[in-house]
A and B are shown apart, each in its own frame.
Chain A
């Protein structure tokens, strides 16, 4: 019969239409604006309306999510910021579009380099969010951010002040990575202390 195929196809759309209401009823009160509901709507069993009502509800980003990188600082003992970066330059070297600019500090007296950047720029209008800088930084000093709501009315070249974020923020967005790095650091420090102890 001519038209059978069309009807069959329309059946699919009709089912989809009905599914919306069925799923709404089945998940009554839990489907929207709840973490559980969002998880359901991104699972394999989702049917019906698929929309995430951004900005009222936000699709959670996974831990590995990467946007523009930021620099981590630890809270110093005197309330200052202890920048983790040692200005080793690896991130600037590995960055594919070369959008990281680092000025290394030099000791005013000796002229020798000090492991701390004086200035650090990332041109966010070039950055390709590839994550290499964070991946290869040996000091976990540069981390890929989760904050994507950074639209602005001008171009975005971030300097060090804009890039710095506390380690606690890092911990909050990437708990697993933070934990892993923390353990590694501690192990390293312990090994160092043990070595120093053995030597003395």
Chain B
């Protein structure tokens, strides 16, 4: 009866002989309980970490035990984007677009060093130093690559996060837009984030920075 244990909200004593049949819960708990066991990830892999993600889906680690086996190829049907791999500048517009297309509630897990903060290829000219520069990340899993068990541990961390949410406060039931739309980055001479156009313009107008140029 693990389920009852999770559902029972603290504060109400249930007589022992009724515990297997009755559980008193709050809407929040029920809501979160339903969501935490049916997080559908998007079938979306970028690099090496994606292989470990597939391995986690396969027989040995079997994410189906967490209700996460339904990898959706379409962002419209998925709740979770596992960013598994190196995020490149050429790829980030597509990633942001995919994120925008996911319906709320949506979560992002940065799997591996690359997605969390750039990883071993951070110094590269085509690499985005962490996907959190563009989409909000809920859980970071370090490791290169995180083993399937580490990924599972990270996803359990996400479940914990879901548990803490309240139906009254979650952003998708608030007034206003249904979902956050992020501006899609543009590929120019380098990657351009539309949110930062003014800043880029201002900084580019400055004389060349000695910090980066002089060493060249």
Partner-B contacts on A (CB < 8 A) = 49-55, 58-59, 67-68, 96-98, 123-129, 148-156
Q: What CA separation (Å) do A98 and B156 show in the bound complex?
A: 31
| Candidates A97, A128, A148; contact of B153 at CB < 8 Å | A148
| Candidates B65, B116, B121; contact of A156 at CB < 8 Å | B116
Q: What CA separation (Å) do A52 and B140 show in the bound complex?
A: 23
Q: Confirm or deny: B168 has a beta carbon within 8 angstroms of a beta carbon on chain A.
A: no
Q: Confirm or deny: B46 has a beta carbon within 8 angstroms of a beta carbon on chain A.
A: no
Contacting pair A125 B118 (CB below 8 A): yes
Contacting pair A126 B143 (CB below 8 A): no
Closest Cβ neighbor of B116 among chain A residues: A125
**CB<8 Å pairs between A and B, sample of 23:** A50-B60, A51-B59, A55-B152, A55-B153, A55-B156, A97-B123, A125-B113, A125-B119, A126-B118, A128-B113, A128-B120, A128-B144, A148-B147, A148-B149, A149-B153, A150-B150, A151-B139, A151-B142, A152-B140, A152-B142, A153-B140, A155-B117, A156-B140
Q: Confirm or deny: B41 has a beta carbon within 8 angstroms of a beta carbon on chain A.
A: no
Closest Cβ neighbor of A96 among chain B residues: B120
Contacting pair A67 B149 (CB below 8 A): no
Q: How many residues of B contact A (CB 8 A)?
A: 33
Chain A residues near B143 (CB-CB < 8 A)? 67-68, 129, 148, 150
Q: What CA separation (Å) do A197 and B54 show in the bound complex?
A: 61
Q: What CA separation (Å) do A152 and B137 show in the bound complex?
A: 11
Contacting pair B113 A124 (CB below 8 A): yes
Most buried by B among A51, A59, A151: A151
Contacting pair A153 B65 (CB below 8 A): no
Partner-A contacts on B (CB < 8 A) = 59-62, 65, 113, 116-123, 130, 132, 138-144, 146-147, 149-150, 152-154, 156-157, 161
Chain B residues near A125 (CB-CB < 8 A)? 113, 116-119, 130, 140, 142
Q: What CA separation (Å) do A97 and B183 show in the bound complex?
A: 31
Which 9 A-B pairs give the minimum distances between C-beta atoms?
A125-B117, A151-B154, A148-B150, A128-B120, A149-B153, A97-B120, A124-B142, A125-B116, A151-B141
Chain A residues near B118 (CB-CB < 8 A)? 125-126
Name the distance in Å between A58's Cβ and chain B's nearest Cβ.
7
Name the distance in Å between B30's Cβ and chain A's nearest Cβ.
24
Q: What CA separation (Å) do A124 and B130 show in the bound complex?
A: 12
Chain B residues near A97 (CB-CB < 8 A)? 119-123
Chain B residues near A129 (CB-CB < 8 A)? 143-144
Contacting pair B119 A54 (CB below 8 A): no
Contacting pair B119 A58 (CB below 8 A): no
| Candidates A53, A126, A128, A152; contact of B157 at CB < 8 Å | A152
